[in-house]
C-alpha cells in the first residue's frame, strides 16, 4: 500500500479517488479549505495553502511520495524538503522551468519547439517597440498564477495595454517584469495532448483532442481531433521531446495552436488537465489513474479510446449561488451515453468549473459532437 501526498485538493485531486481505490493507494491531501472537492475522498488532510512548504513537510511525514494537482507551489521552499530526501514526482527540476510562463516559453524555444513570438515586459520604454514588432492584437499574460484565462488579456490597442499594466501593477502590487507579452495567434483550432511518463522512462500518449475556449476558458473538448496523421505525428514528437527533456514522471498536459502555417505550443501543465477529462469515461486508463500509476512506479496503462470518439463539456458557473443544480444535472444525465461528473463545490461563481459531462460517440465526425454539446449547454446555461 502506497500513500501519495497530493498538493492541491480541487477537482483534479478529487478525480483521482476511484483510481486510487482500484490501485490500493491512499491519498493524503494538502489543501486550504474544508470545502475543497478532494476533502471528501482523502484518507487524511493537511489543511494549508498549496504554497505552504511547512505544511508540505507535515504532508511528507504522512506519505511515501508527493505529487501535484496544482502548480502554484513555492519551489524554492520545497527544494529544502527535496534535499532532505522527500520524494516529489514529478521532481522539482521538472516543474521549475514551467511555473513561470516566460520561463516556460524560453524553455520550449531553447528546445527548438515552435512557440508564439514573446517578450518579458521588463522595460517600460520598450513597450512601444515590442508592440510594433508583435503587432496588434497582442496577448498580455501574468507570468505566474494564471489559470482558466485569469491573467490572460487580449490587447487591441496601445492605450489599453498601458491601462492594463498600470491597473494590474497598482492593484495587485505586481511589477511589469511579471508579465509576458506575445503575438496574438490567429489559430484555426486549439488542440491538446495528454502524455504520461513512467519512472522507467516509458511514454504513453492519449489521443490528440480539439479544445474550444470562450473568453479564454475551456468550454468543450472533442476527442479525437480531426487532424492529419502528419499533424498527429508532429504533436507526438513534441510530447516526447518535452517529457524526455524534463524527465517528467506523471502526466503532462500540452496545449497547442493549429495555424495555417503549422503547430505552435501554447502552454504546458505539469499535472492532469481539463483537456484529458474525457479519458475517465472514454479510455481504459484515465489520466488520473495513469498519473497515479506513473508516480507510484507502476507500469503505465492503455490510453487508447475505447469508443469511436467523445465530447466533453465543462459545466461552468454562471451566477453566484449555493445551488447544487440537481435538476439540470439530472436532465443532462438522461442524454444517451452521457457521464456527468459533479465536483461537489458548495459555491458557484461565474466561470468556476463545477463539473463536466462526457458523452461517448459512435463516430469520429467532429460535426456530430456539436448538437450534443449544444443540447448540454442549453440545459445547463439559462437562456
Ligand atoms: P491559462 O493559463 O489561463 O489557461 P492560456 O495561455 O492557456 O492561459 O490562455 C487561455 C486561452 O487564451 C487559450 O486557450 C487561447 O484561447 C487564448 N490565448 C492565449 N494565448 C493566446 C495567443 N497568443 N493568441 C491567441 N489566443 C491566445
Fold classification of 189-380 is D-amino Acid Aminotransferase; Chain A, domain 1 (3.30.470)
- In short, whether 212's Cβ falls inside 6 Å of ligand 1 is no
pLDDT in tens, 140-159: 999 998 888 788 999 999 88
Has residue 173 got a pLDDT over 60?
A: no
pLDDT in tens, 238-275: 999 999 999 999 999 999 999 999 999 999 999 999 99
Q: pLDDT confidence of 176, banded at 50, 70, 90?
A: low
CATH 3.40.50.20 range(s) for the chain read 2-88
* Residue 381: Cβ-neighbour burial (10 angstroms; 0-12, 13-18, 19+): exposed
Question: Can you give the pLDDT at residue 324?
Answer: 95
Q: How far is CA 360 from CA 64, 304, 309, 331, 357, in A?
A: 36, 14, 6, 17, 10
The pTM (predicted TM-score) of the whole model is: 0.96
Question: Can you give the pLDDT at residue 175?
Answer: 59
CATH 3.30.470.20 range(s) for the chain read 189-380
Has residue 177 got a pLDDT over 80?
A: no
* Cell numbers standing for residue 247: 524527465
Question: Can you give the pLDDT at residue 174?
Answer: 57
pLDDT in tens, 273-308: 999 999 999 999 999 999 999 999 999 999 999 999
Upper half-sphere CA count for residue 167 (Cβ side, 13 Å): 9
pLDDT in tens, 9-38: 999 999 999 999 999 999 999 999 999 999
- In short, whether 190's Cβ falls inside 6 Å of ligand 1 is yes
The position carrying cell 501554447 is 266
Measured N-to-C along each axis, helices 53-62 and 75-83 cross at an angle, to the nearest 10 degrees, of: 40
Question: Can you give the pLDDT at residue 170?
Answer: 63
pLDDT in tens, 352-374: 999 999 999 999 889 999 999 99
The Å distance, Cα 216 to ligand 1 centre, comes to 6
Q: Determine contact, residues 66/101, Cβ cutoff 8 Å.
A: no
Question: Can you give the pLDDT at residue 147?
Answer: 83
- Number of residues assigned to the chain: 383
Question: Can you give the pLDDT at residue 146?
Answer: 84
Local structure of residue 88 (DSSP, 8 states): B
Going by alpha carbons, the residue nearest to atom 17 of ligand 1 is: 216
Fold classification of 117-183 is Dna Ligase; domain 1 (3.30.1490)
Local structure of residue 337 (DSSP, 8 states): T
Q: pLDDT confidence of 172, banded at 50, 70, 90?
A: low
Kindly report whether the peptide bond that precedes residue 51 is cis, defined as omega within 30 degrees of 0: no
Going by alpha carbons, the residue nearest to atom 11 of ligand 1 is: 216
The Å distance, Cα 152 to ligand 1 centre, comes to 7
Nearest to 234 by CA among 290, 193, 188: 193
pLDDT in tens, 105-139: 999 999 999 999 999 987 666 888 899 999 999 99
Average pLDDT rounded to a whole number, residues 339-364: 96
Fold classification of 2-88 is Rossmann fold (3.40.50)
Q: Determine contact, residues 166/121, Cβ cutoff 8 Å.
A: no
Q: Who's near 22: CB < 8 A, 6+ residues apart?
A: 289
Integer Cα distance of 180 and 143 in angstroms: 6
Q: Determine contact, residues 191/236, Cβ cutoff 8 Å.
A: no
Has residue 39 got a pLDDT over 80?
A: yes
Integer Cα distance of 295 and 279 in angstroms: 18
Amino acid at each position: 500500500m502506497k500513500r501519495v501526498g497530493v498538493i492541491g485538493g480541487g477537482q483534479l485531486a478529487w478525480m483521482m479517488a476511484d483510481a486510487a481505490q482500484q490501485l490500493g493507494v491512499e491519498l493524503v491531501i494538502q489543501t486550504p479549505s474544508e470545502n475543497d472537492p478532494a476533502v471528501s475522498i482523502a484518507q487524511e488532510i493537511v489543511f494549508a495553502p498549496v504554497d505552504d512548504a511547512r505544511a508540505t513537510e507535515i504532508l511528507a511525514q504522512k506519505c511515501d511520495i508527493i505529487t501535484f494537482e496544482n502548480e502554484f507551489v513555492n519551489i524554492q521552499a520545497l527544494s529544502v524538503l527535496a534535499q532532505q530526501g522527500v520524494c516529489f514526482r514529478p521532481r522539482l527540476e521538472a516543474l521549475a522551468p514551467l511555473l513561470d510562463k516566460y520561463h516556460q516559453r524560453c524553455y520550449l524555444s531553447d528546445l527548438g519547439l515552435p512557440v508564439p513570438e514573446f517578450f518579458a515586459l521588463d522595460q517600460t520604454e520598450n513597450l512601444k517597440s515590442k508592440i510594433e514588432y508583435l503587432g496588434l492584437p497582442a496577448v498580455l499574460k501574468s507570468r505566474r498564477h494564471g489559470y482558466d484565462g485569469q491573467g490572460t488579456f487580449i490587447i487591441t490597442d496601445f492605450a489599453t495595454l498601458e491601462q492594463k499594466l498600470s491597473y494590474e501593477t497598482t492593484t495587485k502590487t505586481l511589477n511589469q517584469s511579471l508579465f509576458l507579452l506575445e503575438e496574438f495567434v490567429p489559430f484555426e483550432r486549439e488542440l491538446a495532448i495528454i502524455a504520461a511518463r513512467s519512472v522507467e522512462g516509458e511514454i504513453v500518449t492519449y489521443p490528440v483532442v480539439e479544445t474550444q475556449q470562450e473568453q479564454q476558458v475551456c468550454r468543450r473538448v472533442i476527442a479525437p481531433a480531426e487532424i492529419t496523421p502528419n499533424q498527429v505525428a508532429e504533436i507526438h514528437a513534441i510530447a516526447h521531446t518535452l517529457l524526455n527533456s524534463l524527465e517528467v514522471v506523471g502526466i503532462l498536459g500540452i496545449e497547442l495552436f493549429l495555424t495555417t502555417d503549422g503547430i505552435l505550443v501554447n502552454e504546458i501543465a505539469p499535472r492532469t488537465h481539463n483537456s484529458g477529462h474525457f479519458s475517465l469515461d472514454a479510455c481504459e486508463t484515465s489520466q488520473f489513474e495513469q498519473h497515479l500509476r506513473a508516480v507510484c512506479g507502476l507500469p503505465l496503462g492503455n490510453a487508447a479510446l475505447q469508443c469511436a470518439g467523445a465530447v466533453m463539456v465543462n459545466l461552468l458557473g454562471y451566477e453566484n449561488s449555493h445551488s447544487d443544480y440537481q435538476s439540470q444535472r439530472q436532465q443532462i444525465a438522461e442524454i444517451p451515453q452521457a457521464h456527468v461528473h459533479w465536483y461537489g463545490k458548495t459555491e458557484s461563481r461565474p466561470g468556476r468549473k463545477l463539473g463536466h459531462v462526457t458523452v461517448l460517440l459512435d463516430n469520429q465526425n467532429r460535426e456530430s459532437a456539436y448538437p450534443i454539446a449544444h443540447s448540454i449547454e442549453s440545459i445547463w446555461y439559462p437562456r
